[in-house]
Amino acid sequence: MTTPATTGGRERVGPVLVVDDDDLFRDLVTTILVRAGYRAVGAATGEEALDVAERERPEVVVLDIRLPGISGHEVCQKLRAGDEGPPVLFVSGERMEAYDRVAGLLVGGDDYLVKPFAPDELLARVHALIRRAHGATPADLTSDERNLVGLLRRGLGTGEIAQLLRETPNTVHDRVDTLFRKLGV
């Protein structure tokens, strides 16, 4: 069943199509996207995803690999047939070997995320795919902001970053929020 969601502050952007046969996961991802200001629609099968994509023209597709009926890989190939199609962020509930991830990229996927993942990582990847699809460049970051991004990429939490930078956790949290707003996440 297709699950439409309300739109937030990103009217210039079409919907994000979330394709997963797990209703709870699909609803969770849709909710995360809507709360971040995206319009999101859901589909439970590959066939339904192709129908929704034809009607809605999504900006990005968040696509599970293992689906009933046609696989996520097949959906990606069909979305990419003819014209370029929307960017595809593959998600998988399994730790897959590198060659499995490479296969997803070779069939036309643009990025790959292993479940479970942090909501901020999902939002950052969706935002980056939309930015690249529209030919935009990343926001100009100060050296302090680039340093903060590096610490976050290492998987450090706000408490650990606060200790390293000799700042309070609240200050680091505020800096991360400011950084995400600057990046549009």
pLDDT confidence of residue 4: 40
Mean pLDDT estimate for the chain: 83
Domain boundaries, the chain: 16-133, 143-183
Model confidence at 11: pLDDT above 50: no
pLDDT over 90 percentage in the chain: 46
Q: Matching CATH topology for 16-133 and 143-183?
A: no
Residue 94 CA, chain-centre distance (Å), reads 17
Structure tokens, 140? 């100009």
Checking if the pLDDT of 1 tops 60, the result is no
pLDDT tens per residue across span 13-25: 679 999 999 999 9
Cβ–Cβ contacts within 10 Å for residue 6, how many?
7
Domain with residues 16-133, CATH architecture? 3-Layer(aba) Sandwich (3.40)
Please give the class, per CATH, of domain 143-183: mainly alpha
Please write down the long-range contacts of 125-134, taking CB distance under 8 Å and 24 or more positions apart: 125/89, 126/16, 126/33, 126/38, 126/60, 126/62, 126/89, 127/183, 127/184, 127/185, 129/60, 129/87, 129/89, 130/13, 130/59, 130/60, 130/87, 131/184, 132/87, 133/59, 133/60, 133/86, 133/87
Q: What is the pLDDT of residue 175?
A: 87
- Confidence check: pLDDT of 153 > 80: no
pLDDT tens track for 26-52: 999 999 999 999 999 999 999 999 999
pTM: 0.69
Assess whether pLDDT exceeds 90 at residue 132: no
Query: Is the distance from CB of 16 to CB of 39 less than 8 angstroms?
Result: yes
